[in-house]
A and B are shown apart, each in its own frame.
Chain A
Amino acid sequence: MNILDATFYYCLIFLPVATLIGFVIKKRVQQAFHTTHWRSLPVHYAFYLALRIIIPAMVLFFSAAALHLLSLYTADGLGLFSLASVSSLASGFFAYQNIRPEFCARESVERIIRYILISAALISILTTIGIVVAVIFEAIHFFRIVSLLEFLTGTHWAPDDATEGNTSGMFGSIPIFAGTFMITLIAMLVAVPVGILSAVYMSEYASSRIRNIAKPALEILAGIPTVVYGFFAAITVSPLVVELADSIGLHADYTNALTPGIVMGVMIIPFISSLSDDVIRSVPRALRDASLALGTTNSETIIKIVLPTALPGIIAACLLGVSRALGETMIVVMAAGLRPNLTWNPLEGMTTVTVRIVDALTGDQAFDSPETLSAFGLGLVLLVITLMLNFVSIYVTRRFRSQYE
């Protein structure tokens, strides 16, 4: 019997028992309720007793699981089960002594539930800290082998040639980041104009009927999984781009940067259009009316009045789009190249940070090999850039938000 079995059998026996005891107590308090003055409702006494029975065992099981996972100590299932049962019975017995009219059961129950809620919140927060710590921790391992300066300024990336002892000159990340920014740039060139203009049309020109069709339609684009975009880019768009380039006398690789860029741009359109739409619609009617009353056309009002007012929100939306594009993985894994390539030509194959992360971690390298660890180095840089973009976009919206009320 292991810990999981012990937990299972405990729940199988004690959950119904605790529920039953709860019901019995509720009935008994209810009967006595009219003759004596009870401080809390019958249901609170029932909950109090049931929770007091279950909680000590749950804490026990949780700590046993934690100890086991940390491989510090593995509890014997049978022993754990008996310990949990005994502690439940003892705790239940003491709790039963408290079932008296002058006892405030409600306060106790609420305190217990409060602690449960706090522990849930703590778990959520620990994961946020955990993700940063885990990535930083492994990245430190990597930067012990490869100097940070070389990582950020080197132009040659060849982790396959790197060995435990010799890593100099093998981990220059510039070509990788150049590829990432190139594809992001192409994506934004597609997404920003189309996204903002769609938002303008939906919020300023379209009748509510067209809006009710167009907005969900755009949101469908956001609901398509990225692996699907990746397949579409690799199988359908990439040959189209190559053919098109051929027809104007240019050579394009099948893993060119243009294909994932365009498809990623399409993926990001709904993020930008939906956020911009909200911002544009929140521009007060009075501003538009004032401008139109001066005899401007619709487009003049939009360009000179509405868009400048909504600009902070639109910029924030675009920054969000940029951070999506930087961290997007499946499209580039399936449609962009694997070879780091420092070039301005979008028709050549180039690679990105996320591609290299996936590539480094899906091989059969040992976990502490320089190549595997390089994924964490790249991941850390990606994390820092994303967080910075997020902070900038929060700052822009807070600092430049126009207050019209």
Chain B
Amino acid sequence: MNKAALNKALKRRYLKEKLFKGSAIFALLLAASFLIFFFTNMISQGVSALSQAEILVTVHYNEASAKSYRKAVDKAYRKIVSRGWLRTLPLYMEDHPELMGTSEEKWVLATSDVDQYLKGKPNRLKDKYKQQIDKLQEEGKVRLAFNVNFFTRGDSKMAELAGIKSAVIGSILVLFVTLVVALPIGVMTAIYLEEFAPDNKITQLIEVNINNLAAIPSILFGLLGLAIFINFFGVPRSSALVGGLTLALMTLPVIIITTRAALRAVPSTIREAAYGLGASRWQAVFHHVLPLALPGILTGSIIGLAQAMGETAPLLVIGMMAYIPDAPSSFTEAATVLPAQIFTWAGESIRAYEERTAAAILILVTVLLSMNAFAIWLRKRFEIRW
């Protein structure tokens, strides 16, 4: 082969090298750009849910408005003031009898259409009311205030009143059940399998079983929860208890696997040193191995719990997508969780729910990512390299 041909071949090979490297970078950038696109999209959609339209109106507290709440505001405002808010008035007047017969100027919640109109989003507000709102805006009688309701109220059929409080409390209850059930059983199982169980066929079978369990699609855990907990054991449907138990089954293999990995990472010299000083097997494990494996166990458990917290599919199957306006006060009451709330809001046809969905997503993702970040920090901070 002469030199020219060789150079040509070499050039081609270098080009190929460049193309390959380029495509590898491109792939990574593609994934990264999706991430950026996703977050900017969610933030731009969700941020507007943090403010809510309010109108300055004169509220009349008198006999007429106690009987028919719509009469509390002047007729011109009845279509732009939230009906959900008006409905709370009679109760409010009962609690504050001294207000009877007076009237006051007050910032009150506007309907979701007014809210969407002010934010420049698609809405179904009639032109008549649009002009009215424009006029009120010139007079400074309309404002976008911080959306307190979003954090202090439960779900509502009226978008302007819908909040995430009951879903957040439901999530906490469900997660509590999951933690209480899955953590002790998972850690104890892992300790037994890793440190005490004889290495025979049965143990190996159990190992394969647990690994398989980790690969089973989450929705099948929902089927299990439905068939066993609800139909067989009669645990109340939609309750935080059945949700927590179902998610506990899902989290169990994650906790077992990570705990075993953490225990295995502790070198055998530690155990042997303990035996050498006359410790029994269980003393060696509980006094020496377990404390050293603790950061790893905690990390795995937090990651497992974060997974459980973001899970929706099995919970849909066991009925946790119910409409829950008030926060559940016990483990057996019907409850919903944040991801399920996101799912139900995403299915609403009223546009005002969309920004609330995005805002709820931002909150959920922030919580989950900080849980994961905390777990990773924990591992980095306390991990001992042997």
Contact = CB atoms under 8 A, between A and B. Distances in A.
B215 A125 contact: no
A134 interface: yes
Interface residues of B, number: 87
Interface residues of A, number: 89
Interface in B292-337: 306, 309-313, 316-317, 319, 321
> What is the interface of chain B mostly: helix, strand, loop, or mixed?
helix
Nearest to B30: A194
B339 A329 contact: no
A221 B220 contact: no
B31 A323 contact: no
Contacts of B45: 235
B210 A326 contact: no
B213 interface: yes
A176 interface: no
A130 B219 contact: no
> Max chain A CB contacts within 10 Å: which of B186, B188, B217, B311?
B217
A227 B217 CA distance: 15
A297 B13 contact: yes
Contact of A223 (B185, B228, B312, B372): B372
A217 interface: yes
Interface in B132-174: none
> Max chain B CB contacts within 10 Å: which of A228, A266, A328?
A228
B17 interface: yes
Interface string B1-31: 0000000000001101101110111111011
Contact of B188 (A110, A121, A379): A121
Interface in B24-60: 24-28, 30-32, 34-35, 38, 41-42, 45
A124 B249 CA distance: 8
Interface string A235-267: 110000000000000000000000000000010
B102 interface: no
Contacts of B368: 223-225
A228 B365 CA distance: 8
Contacts of B14: 297
Contact of B17 (A196, A218, A297): A297
A232 interface: yes
Contact of B313 (A129, A131, A358, A387): A358
A137 B223 CA distance: 11
Interface in A333-377: 333-334, 354, 357-358, 361-362, 367, 375-376
A128 B209 contact: yes
Contact of B223 (A204, A220, A375): A375
Contacts of B196: 114, 117
9 contacts: A114-B282, A117-B189, A223-B368, A226-B310, A227-B339, A326-B217, A327-B220, A358-B316, A375-B223
Interface of B: 13-14, 16-17, 19-21, 23-28, 30-32, 34-35, 38, 41-42, 45, 184-186, 188-189, 191-193, 196-197, 206, 209-213, 215-224, 226-228, 231-234, 249, 252, 256, 280-282, 306, 309-313, 316-317, 319, 321, 339-340, 342-343, 346-347, 354, 357-358, 361, 364-365, 368-369, 372, 376
